[in-house]
Structure formats: C-alpha cells, structure tokens
Amino acid sequence: SGPFASADSPDNILFEDAVMEGIPLIKAGTIAKLVERVTLEAYPDVKYLGQFLLTYRSFMTGMDLLHLLRLRCNL
C-alpha cells in the first residue's frame, strides 16, 4: 500500500522511446512515480535528479516533497 506500491504502467509513468546510457528517459509521470525515480537505485540518474530538483516546485511544495521522501525512505 502507499503511493509507491503500484508497478510502472502507462497509467502512472510514460517513457521516451530513447534510452540514454541504459537508463529509460521519463516523459511524464505521477508525482509519486517521479519521486520514486529520483530515489530508485536500479537507475541512478544524476541528470534526472538535477532536473527534478530544479522543477519540482512547479507541481508540488517543498513540504509535499519531504513528506514523499520520508515515506519512500521508510519502505
């Protein structure tokens, strides 16, 4: 249960057709999936992390991000 329980699907995350250095490129996703990808060990993507940190304020507050990160780290 929780915001990170659902598997990747076209309903919650979309990927570009291209892959960069073995990492799938994200086109769009739910807030939970975007936060999950920031913390996903299987695909450590520093470029995505930087882009996420520069833009998250356009779709969520800092407190919302901290709440989701806390939930994610407690899994």
CA nearest to 9, candidates 36, 44, 39: 36
pLDDT greater than 70 at residue 49: yes
pLDDT at 27 > cutoff 90: yes
pLDDT band at residue 75 under the 50/70/90 scheme? low
CA distance 44 to 23: 8
Judging by DSSP bridges, how do beta strands 23-29 and 13-20 pair with one another? antiparallel
Specify the range with the lowest mean pLDDT, choosing from 6-10, 25-29, 41-45, 54-58: 41-45
Comparing 43 with 8, which gets the higher pLDDT? 8
Alpha-helical runs (H) found in 1-75 = 31-39, 46-55, 62-73
Instruction: Name the band, by pLDDT with cuts 50, 70 and 90, for residue 1.
Output: low
